[in-house]
Chain A
Amino acid sequence: MGLTGLEIFKQLPKTNCKDCGQPTCLAFAMQLASGKASLDQCPHVSDAAKEALDSASAPPVALVTIGKGDKELQLGNETVLFRHDKRFEHPTGIAIKVNDTDDDITAKVQAINKLVFDRVGQIHKVNLVAVNNASGDAAKFTEAVKTVQDSSDFALVLISEDAAAMEKALEVAGANAPLICGANAANFDAMLALAKKYDAPLVVKGADLNELAALVEKAGYKKLILDSGAREVNNVLADQTQIRRQALKKFRPFGYPTIAFADNEDPIQAIVDAGVYIAKYAGIVVLNTADPADVLPLITLRLNIYTDPQKPIAVESKLYEIGTPGPDAPVFVTTNFSLTYFCVQGDVEAGRISAYIMPVDTDGISVLTGWAAGKFTPEKITEMLNSCGIADKVNHKKMIIPGGVAVLSGKLQELSGWEVLVGPRESAGIPSFIKQRWGA
């Protein structure tokens, strides 16, 4: 959270020596507050002041990184309780659990590697594989960790409360900064030492919020993920809410991302619980399933909840070719809201239709919203029709508009000189519409 210039000024030497390039300490403080300077430009600031400023200006939820290179996952830096207050920053990391007692771990990991979905032109996937020391055996755990590390596209979470087993597993995986899961009151010193040794993030689990806060205070280590110990969804909701609220109030022990486990014995309820954790603040949620029917809804929910409320996702407004459109290919008119565009694109593709799609720039809003807001108008459609070069690509003058805006057709026909065909209301109807109405 930002500090005011005055708050920063109080911590500066107040000598106005100008070594920072500013005329006065106050001027420098103002530059700092607005993010135009950095503290290390003042050579005279004391260590104590530096620490005070660092911690006061640190975000309420620390940024924590798991894994390395292209498997790296960042969590934290959150600043709000409600997405409408600003936005949620780092989407909940989805981890899929494998047990070291599982029969064919490689096959399981391969299934997890496939949990990658293309939605509105963006790739969404799970983020972590959690290896659980279900056997209680160090050698078996280490072997499983090695297998997963060799075959997984994602960074690892190592789950064992046995420090000796963790030590062995880290000999194999420690260099890749896996999440060590983790420390509790009983094994605290040993687990913490391992985390420090490998400079890896560490889950700290308390029996309740009080014990959690005490353990974090004691840790003196900043790469932490919090586990309040709660496992039932009603209690996890309460703890997650408390941790986020306290973090925003700058209660430092809770200023870290959290982890939640969707361990409900009923597999459907486990997904429902995971949905609550995604909506309500979990930094990581650990699932026991790799079934895409379970994971797709959760990944979609995460995408929605973590969308920046201030900017709709838009596609570039330009002429798109689907398949290999010839001169008699149909021309579909839509808006550049990504969800709208990709619905249309998906359905055109599903019908194996080669076509042109023309998404008009509506500032990234949907067909009806765009129409209601005066951003999807006959004028705008005509303008794009004339400027995008479609007239040179096709040998006809017919466009298809969404059924929801049938009312536009008269005016549009008049303005553009093109024939306007009113398509179905839902893009899913496009394939059958084309069969019946195009080229016949």
Chain B
Amino acid sequence: MAVTIAKEKWTSKVGEMVLGADSSVKAGGESTLPFLHFEGDVPNKVVLALEVWDLEPVDWPEILKAPFEGVLADPVAWAKKNVEYGADAVALRLMSAHPDFKDASPEDCAATAKAVAEAVNVPLIIIGCGVEEKDAEVLEKVGEALAGKNCLLGCATEKNYKTITATAMVNGHSVVASSPLDINLAKQLNILMTEMNLPTNRIAIDPLVGALGYGIEYAYSIMERARMGALMGDKMLAMPVICFVGQEAWKAKEAKSPDDESPEWGAQERRAILWEVLTTTTFAQAGGSIFVLRHPETVKQVKVHVDKMMESNAY
């Protein structure tokens, strides 16, 4: 018996963000739910970025440090390595700016960002140290130094979005807008930023996701709801979603616990990488478009999966 394929008639789509000096990387643009090619367009693959720190990470587990042996103290070399590993973008995290670490000046941070930008030919995502006031100062200088490079700057919050938005507009960048797991807070921040005349397709929503086992379900549902909002015409939800998966997945006990500590959990390397991979692919099913990751093997595995998911399943 013939089954009539059930298709939703969506009226709108997710905005398309373009990144990189040569506009080579695109995110978003879907006119259906994730990977439902039978119903609408899924024009772009998810964007996979690997993190680079401007300060050698001390508490990363060995299996996460190993692929970057020799470059962890050198952001330029590390960034190049990320590109070799197949990252679509490099996410530079300006940890040194943190008052508890080096309290590096905005100028120093800008110089690092510039050096990294000149060393690689993929788009940059530049992330501050997480202290909102400091990030505003730092990103202002970084934005200037990288004018025209079409980077993604973050993270803008309700406290510091004004400076970051202004820098992005003047120097031609896009902005990560972070709000804690709440559709209305996300919309509110997007409204504030677009009211400053930042085009909607230059904002990426960061819902502050948690990892598998650590609240993934909250972000999953928020992202599904945001995608449906976008498809039903809510312009203030129609931005690609960025997920900082690496930082969350590698905090999980299941990723950090060595073989001998939890033998009943199997080998650490396999379970840790699967932790990051599954957190990513699950969010891809909920509508995530840009993923900031830490382990190169995760990039490799997610790529293989996404290539498969991009094959048509039209009836």
* Contact across chains for A276 and B267 when beta carbons are under 8 A apart: no
Give the contacting residue for B221; candidates A84, A241, A295; CB below 8 A. Answer: A84
Query: Can you list, as one digit per residue, whether each of A415-440 has a CB less than 8 Å from chain B (1) or not (0)?
Result: 00000000000101000000000000
Asked if B253 and A279 make an inter-chain contact with CB atoms under 8 angstroms apart, the answer reads no
The reply to whether the CB of A48 lies closer than 8 angstroms to some CB of chain B is: no
How far is B96's CA from A219's CA once the two chains are assembled, in angstroms?
A: 67
Report whether B5 and A83 are in contact in the complex, using a CB–CB cutoff of 8 Å.
Answer: no
Q: From residue 209 to 267 of chain A, which have CB atoms closer than 8 A to chain B?
A: 209-210, 213-214, 217, 232-235, 237-238, 241-242, 245-246, 249, 251, 253-254, 266
Find out whether the CB atom of A271 lies under 8 angstroms from the CB atom of B3.
Answer: no
Residue B213, interface by CB 8 Å:
yes
Residue of A209, A232, A272, A276 with highest tally of chain B CB at under 10 A = A272
Is the Cβ of B304 less than 8 Å from the Cβ of A269?
A: yes
Shortest Cβ distance from B255 into A: residue: A297
Complex alpha-carbon distance, A297 and B270, angstroms: 10
The reply to whether A251 and B266 contact each other, CB–CB distance below 8 Å, is: no
A307 touches B217 (CB 8 A): yes
Name A280's closest neighbour in chain B (CB-CB): B285
A237 to B282, CA, bound (A): 13
Residue-wise interface mask of B (1-34) relative to A, using a CB-CB cutoff of 8 A (1 in contact, 0 not): 1110110000000000000000000000000000
User: Which residues from chain B contact A300 at a C-beta distance below 8 Å?
Assistant: 212-213, 254
With A217-B1, A233-B309 as contacts: A279 and B285 at CB distance below 8 Å: yes
Closest Cβ–Cβ distance, residue A82 to chain B (whole Å):
6
- Report B264-301 residues with CB < 8 Å from chain A CB: 264-268, 270-271, 273-275, 277-278, 281-282, 285-286, 301
The 8 Å CB contact of A426, one of B37, B221, B251, B285, is B251
Nearest-CB residue, chain B, relative to A305: B217
B215 engages A210 (CB within 8 Å): no
Residue in chain A with minimal CB distance to B297: A268
Q: Which of A213, A214, A272, A309 contacts B281 (CB 8 A)?
A: A272
Within 8 A of B (CB), among A185-228: 209-210, 213-214, 217
A297 contacts B278, C-beta separation under 8 Å: yes
CA distance A300 to B315 in the complex (A): 33
Nearest CB of A to B45, in Å: 13
Please determine whether B281 and A276 come into contact, CB atoms closer than 8 angstroms: yes
A301 within 8 A of B: yes
Q: B35 on the interface (CB 8 Å rule)?
A: yes
Q: Is the CB of B304 within 8 A of A266?
A: yes
Q: Type the 1/0 row for A307-327, where 1 means its CB is closer than 8 Å to any CB of B.
A: 101000000000000000000
Q: Which of A83, A301, A346 is in CB contact (< 8 Å) with B278? A: A301
Measured in the bound complex, the distance between the Cα atoms of B3 and A84 in whole Å is 27
**In the complex, A328 has a CB within 8 A of chain B:** no
Q: Are A234 and B313 in contact (CB under 8 A)?
A: yes
Among B253, B264, B271, B310, the residue within 8 A (CB) of A346 is B253
Q: Is B213 a contact of A271 with CB atoms below 8 Å?
A: no
Among B266, B278, B285, B305, which residue has its beta carbon within 8 angstroms of that of A291?
Answer: B266
The B contact surface, by secondary structure, is: helix
Whether the Cβ atoms of A301 and B216 lie closer than 8 Å is yes
Q: Beyond A242-B3, A245-B6, A279-B282, is A339–B301 a contact (Cβ under 8 Å)?
A: no
Given known A-B contacts A272-B305, A276-B281, A301-B212, A209 and B3 have beta carbons under 8 A apart: yes
- Chain A residues lying within 8 Å of B38, measured Cβ to Cβ, are 238
Q: How far, in whole Å, are A298 and B224 apart by their CA atoms in the complex?
A: 20
B205 nearest CB across to chain A (Å): 17
| A114 CB–B CB distance under 8 Å | yes
Given A233-B308, A291-B266, A297-B274, check contact A272 B213 (CB 8 Å).
no
CA–CA, A82 and B220, complex, Å? 10
Alpha-carbon separation in the docked complex, A268 to B220 (Å) = 22
Cβ distance A46 to chain B, nearest Cβ, rounded Å:
29
Q: Do B313 and A238 touch across chains, with their CB atoms under 8 A apart?
A: yes
A279-B285, A292-B264, A307-B217 in contact; A297/B3 too (CB < 8 A)?
A: no
* Per-residue contact bits, chain A 117-136, to B (CB 8 Å; 1 contact, 0 not): 10100000000000000000
**From B311, which residue of chain A is reached at the shortest CB distance?**
A234
What residues of chain A lie closer than 8 Å to B217, measured between beta carbons?
83, 304-305, 307, 309
A5 part of interface (Cβ distance < 8 Å): no
Q: Which A residues from 370 to 386 make CB contacts under 8 A with B?
A: 372
Write 17 A-B pairs (CB below 8 A) sorted by A numbering. Answer: A84-B224, A119-B213, A214-B1, A234-B37, A234-B310, A238-B313, A246-B3, A268-B273, A275-B278, A279-B220, A292-B265, A293-B268, A294-B271, A297-B274, A304-B220, A339-B215, A372-B180
Considering the complex of A and B, which 4 residue pairs feature the smallest CB-CB distances, nearest first?
A293-B266, A238-B313, A292-B266, A293-B271
